[in-house]
Amino acid sequence: MAIHPTAIIDESAVIDSSTEIGPNVIIEGDTRIGKRNKIYPGAFICRGTTMGDDNQVHMGAVVGHVTQDKAYRGEKSYLHIGNNNVIREYATIHRGSLSESATTIGNGCLLMGGCHIAHDCQIGNGVIIANMVGLAGYVEVCDRAILSGGTMVHQFVKIGRLSICSGNSRVGMDVPPFTIVAERNEAWGVNVIGLKRAGLSPETIHELRKLHRTFFRSRKARSDVINELKGSPEFSSSESQELITFIEESKRGVCSRSRR
């Protein structure tokens, strides 16, 4: 194991011998770090953190620190990080707020400089969280979603799969999968470029665009529109059904069509 002599590592930390630890890194006890990770100078890995393999934690990042929830009273909680993630400079990730609760980061995520992931957030696989994004507590971000720079997300919001939030968005409602969201809870359309990159067929993308227009432009009650969409043979793909189910099950309600 390559450990710089200035690193401070608790003797109870469990770290694989293939992990590289740079100068002035601090790793507290009750931590487990897997294979081939690279911890850059000045990073701080706090207790309760479990990290898989092939991750990068860059300079000044604070990983697994105590929650900023005022109700927190020192309960034992966790941060679970998967494999192949990149955590850039000065990102902050807090562990769970309640006893035995956890914040989780999946696999293959890019968390850019200065972003903040609060307590009890659930981040899927392949997610990109850009510079200075802020996630409040209990936010769920599904696989391959993109949160552009400066996006602010209210607590308990769910961000759907393969969606994208435009830069400086303010998101307080759920973001349906495959959707572009901008400004303040405005649904601007389907994330066509992202869907093409994900390998969805032109037919599926066309179907999703038609479904999106049908739902967001309807003047009927949302429950009535959902019932019509569920029974329509036009929207039979698994992606369309995923979008319909997401809207139907949303507890906060979803973002609205832009009036611009």
The string of pLDDT tens digits covering residues 149-192 is: 999 999 999 999 999 999 999 999 999 999 999 999 999 999 99
Task: Report pLDDT for 259.
Answer: 67
Q: Each residue of 44-65: pLDDT tens digit?
A: 999 999 999 999 999 999 999 9
Classify residue 59 by burial, with Cβ atoms within 10 Å: 0-12, 13-18, 19+. Answer: middle
d(CA 200, CA 213): 19
pLDDT in the model for residue 165: 98
Decide: 68 and 119 in contact? Cβ < 8 Å. Answer: yes
Q: What's the pLDDT score for residue 220? A: 85
Close Cβ partners of 70 (under 8 Å, ≥ 6 residues apart): none
Q: Which of 137, 149, 160, 194 is catalytic?
A: 137
**pLDDT for the residue numbered 122:** 98
Angle at alpha carbon of residue 259, lines to 255 and 260, rounded to 5°: 120
* Domains of the chain, start order: 2-141 (2.160.10.10), 196-257 (1.20.1180.10)
pLDDT for res 126: 98
Given the residues 54, 65, 120, 149, select the one marked as catalytic: 120
- Give strand pairing partners of 209: none
pTM of the model as a whole = 0.96
Q: Is 224 a catalytic residue?
A: no
- In sequence order, which residues have a C-beta less than 8 Å from that of residue 47 and are 6 or more positions away? 10, 28, 29, 30, 31, 64
Helices and strands (H and E) in the chain: how many: 4, 29
pLDDT averaged per 10 residues, the chain (length 260): 93 97 98 98 98 98 96 95 98 97 98 98 98 98 98 98 98 98 96 97 97 91 89 92 96 85
137 is catalytic: yes
The yes-or-no answer on residue 80 being catalytic is no
- What is the structure's pLDDT at 36? 98
Burial degree of 45 (CB within 10 A; 0-12, 13-18, 19+): buried
